[in-house]
Structure 1
Amino acid sequence: MVLAGCATQNENYALGGPGTDSLMLVGDRSHRDQYLAHVRSDPLGAYLSAQEKVSRPSAPRGLASTALNYLGIKYRFGGNAPDTGFDCSGLVVYAAEKSLGLKLPRRSSEMARLGQSVKRDELERGDLVFFNTRGHRFSHVGIYLGEGKFVHAPSTGSRVRVEDMNIGYWKKRYNGARRLAANGPTHARVSGKSAATQKVASK
């Protein structure tokens, strides 16, 4: 199995310089770690999840709704399931298969080649949102919820949670979004073998 996560337990990253998106490997505690250390609880995520269960009990369970079921699950590099933990791409892969019947590639960089590109001001619930958190594009992925919020599995020592894309940390690192065909009227399935180069195709 290929381990494809958003962070490793032994890596620390810091900003490469003012006004840049590049990250450098350093020995001390990074800007990224400092930011994540201050965002441990997730009252907003818990609220959104509770509201969905109350207001939409019979609604179809889409990608975003399914991912919200796993709020609080611990982060685990290479994690693929709620009982063992998730990394960023593991959460998306699991939620997509459970909610939409999609078999997505394991790496976030490969997911970024699927579906259709979406402008930031046209984002819709269920779109995949990508960030540069490790010094290269599409190294982190989450699921857009609406109103600037997204759900994701952040890093070692944290848990699945909801965050605001407009916070400085994420705003600087945002680098695109994709909409899978299954988020529209027609469900779709991706071949795991060719998913890295193939767009999502309708059943």
Structure 2
Amino acid sequence: MWRHALLTVYLVIFLYGCSSTSTQDNGISNNLILQSSSPITQALLRQHQVWRGTPYRLGGNSKNGIDCSGFTQVTFTERFHTQLRRTTKDQVTQGKPVSKSMLQPGDLVFFKTGGKKVRHVGIYLEDGVFLHASTSRGVTLSRLDNPYWRQHYWTARRIPISRW
């Protein structure tokens, strides 16, 4: 309980003290984020704080540049001690399929963003928000109801989380 309260205070200071606006990446409300009670969402928000703005680099897996599947792999290792395969193509075969209406914090969300082989992956938080490494914004938060992401949504997978 004490840890949760301390985390909430830290998030308030970070989100309001370091920002001149009342919204987070892509217009996501800080209030939406601060109200989360899910420990998985809180772990993902901490990951976002560490990686926010890290540039996108195809094949990258470090703070110098990271791609979408590299970011999901690193996040699951660092936050949940759970191994994911390296590529989006392989990650989409892990875990169990889950419908969009049944998404839970930590689910992988997949998008078809171009031709048959162009795919993208992120990690669902809650309330339609997901965390990912964007080609244009680097590591960021986005909304599933954004017209671009809504149009390109493909599928989701639930990965068993070892521990956190």
RMSD after superposition: 2.8
Quick one: structure 1 residues 65 and 104, their matched pair in 2 at CA, closer, same or farther if it must change by over 3 Å? Answer: same
Q: Select 1:68's aligned residue among 48, 52, 61.
A: 48
Q: Select 1:168's aligned residue among 131, 147, 163.
A: 147
Scaled by the length of structure 2, what TM-score is found?
0.72
Q: Select 1:107's aligned residue among 53, 75, 87.
A: 87
Q: CA deviation at 1:49?
A: 10
How many corresponding residue pairs?
Answer: 138
Quick one: structure 1 residues 131 and 137, their matched pair in 2 at CA, closer, same or farther if it must change by over 3 Å? Answer: farther
Check conservation: 2:41, 2:125, Cα contact below 8 A.
no
Q: Does 1:180 align with 2:163?
A: no
Distance in 1 between residues matched to 2:153 and 2:119, nearest whole Å:
10
Distance in 2 between residues matched to 1:48 and 1:80, nearest whole Å:
31
| Ranges in structure 1 where 5+ consecutive residues have no aligned partner | 1-40, 189-203
Distance in 2 between residues matched to 1:119 and 1:50, nearest whole Å:
23
Q: Select 2:59's aligned residue among 74, 78, 83.
A: 78
Check conservation: 2:98, 2:155, Cα contact below 8 A.
yes
What is the one-letter code of the residue matched to 1:134? G
Percent identity, please: 31
User: Residue in 2 aligned with 1:146?
Assistant: 126
Alpha-carbon displacement from aligned partner over 1:26-65 (angstroms, at most 9, x marks no partner): xxxxxxxxxxxxxxx826569379838xx87xx5787633
Check conservation: 2:56, 2:133, Cα contact below 8 A.
yes
User: Residue in 2 aligned with 1:21?
Assistant: none
Distance in 1 between residues matched to 2:103 and 2:33, nearest whole Å:
23
What is the one-letter code of the residue matched to 1:103? Q
Alpha-carbon displacement from aligned partner over 1:122-145 (angstroms, at most 9, x marks no partner): 001110000001312671000111
User: Residue in 2 aligned with 1:128?
Assistant: 108
Indicate the larger mover: 142-151 or 68-77. 68-77
Distance in 1 between residues matched to 2:143 and 2:126, nearest whole Å:
10
Quick one: structure 1 residues 74 and 179, their matched pair in 2 at CA, closer, same or farther if it must change by over 3 Å? Answer: same
Q: Select 2:30's aligned residue among 25, 37, 47.
A: 47
Runs of 4+ in 1 over 6 A off after TM superposition: none
Scaled by the length of structure 1, what TM-score is found?
0.59
Distance in 1 between residues matched to 2:152 and 2:54, nearest whole Å:
24
Q: Which has the larger radius of gyration?
A: 1
What is the one-letter code of the residue matched to 2:57? R
Quick one: structure 1 residues 95 and 181, their matched pair in 2 at CA, closer, same or farther if it must change by over 3 Å? Answer: same
Check conservation: 1:129, 1:143, Cα contact below 8 A.
yes
Q: CA deviation at 1:86?
A: 1.2
Distance in 2 between residues matched to 1:113 and 1:150, nearest whole Å:
19
2:138 counterpart SS class: coil
1:103 counterpart SS class: coil
